[in-house]
Structure 1
Amino acid sequence: MKIVATVAFLVVALIFYFLWLGRIAVELLTSGDIAAIGLGIGVLILPLLGVWMVVSTIRSALDHQRLARRVHEEGLELDVDDLPRRPSGRIERAAADELFLTVKQEWEADPDNWRVSYRLARAYDYAGDRARARNTMRRAVELERHERDSGTR
């Protein structure tokens, strides 16, 4: 709940910031000065980009949370409790790589299963490959959405 409150506070703060930037942009656009109009267009783009980034980030977080909840309910989470850890708390690299290879074999056997793609994304994350983890998680979200829309399992 503390995280939700923090995110809500930050979103509200960003809304005020975007409104403030929007007001400045309108003032610049209506000034009549060509240079100010150019700056106004640039300043107007900032809140639009900001809103897009906030909305897309929150949508992704909610999608990932939905998948995590479903995987948890189905008892398919990766068990990493017994893996050796560094002093920082991260899983030892060799253990994470071993886990990744195991999950990759699952994925190779069933690449169109969102549950396996979700597990692979988590394994990529544990192995430290954030870019592939994000891409694989996007794929898991798309596969899960397709499954929900088609009503299949």
Structure 2
Amino acid sequence: MTALLLLYVVLLANTGITLLFTGVLIGQVMGALILAFPLLAVWATIVELRFGLAAEKLVARIEAEGTWPDLGIETRPSGRAIRSSADAAFAKWSALAEENEEDFHSWFNLSLAYDACGDRRRARAAMRKAIGLAK
């Protein structure tokens, strides 16, 4: 995926630079905007890679400690969580995170519970908090 992004950046940068040197105002504006999109894509990719690496490091640390949580969530044969079971587990892990706000384990567990409930945005936010507390 990163290789495709690099190809995208190179091709768009070429088009943007070509438009910048057209001598026509609208072409120059379009060229500048076209150059901004690859920069945004590179920035977003770097942010995601850093988050992923930090999460992997935290997972390795938790596995090394032997404190990987058993969420107690029933799953379907496909591996997806059963919603009612995930909601019940979420309530438990949410309460633990509120009680132990400075413990990264609690936030890591809450992140897994959010993910099992299908709430990826909050799962990522809880994981970011866990990563911050683990440092």
TM-score, reference length from structure 1: 0.81
Partner of 1:56: 47
Q: Does 1:137 align with 2:110?
A: no
- Residue 115 of structure 2: SS of its match in structure 1? helix
Runs of 4+ deviating beyond 6 Å: none
Q: Deviations over 1:48-94 (max 9, x none)?
A: 011011111111111111111111111222225x6422243212112
Identify the residue that residue 123 of structure 1 maps to in structure 2.
113
Q: 2-side partners of 1:109 and 1:57: how far apart?
A: 29
Mean Cα displacement is larger for which, 27-36 or 123-132?
Answer: 123-132
Partner Cα distance (2:66, 2:96) in 1: 16
Match of 1:71 among 51, 54, 62: 62
Q: Which consecutive residues of structure 2, in runs of 5 or more, have no partner in the other structure? A: none
- The higher-RCO structure (CA 8 Å, 6+ apart) is 2
- Which one-letter code corresponds to 1:111 in the other structure? E
Q: Determine whether 1:46 maps to 2:42.
A: no
Deviations 1:124-147 (A, max 9, x none): 1112222221111111111112xx
Q: How many residues align?
A: 135
Q: What TM-score does the superposition give when structure 2 sets the normalisation length?
A: 0.90
CA RMSD of aligned residues (A): 1.6
Matched residues in 2 for 1:91 and 1:98: separation? 11
Q: Superposition pairs for residues 1-153 of structure 1, below 5 Å? A: 10-80=1-71, 83-145=73-135
CA distance in 2, matches of 1:21, 1:120: 40
**Conserved? CA contact 2:73–2:89, under 8 Å:** no
Which stretch of the first structure deviates more once superposed, 29-38 or 69-78? 69-78
For 2:77 and 2:112, locate their aligned partners in 1 and report how far apart those are by CA, in whole Å: 21
Of stretches 27-36 and 94-103 in structure 1, the one that deviates more from structure 2 is: 94-103
| Percentage identity across paired residues of the two chains | 33
In 2, Cα distance between the equivalents of 1:50 and 1:138? 21
Q: Partners in 2 of 1:95 and 1:44 — Cα distance?
A: 48
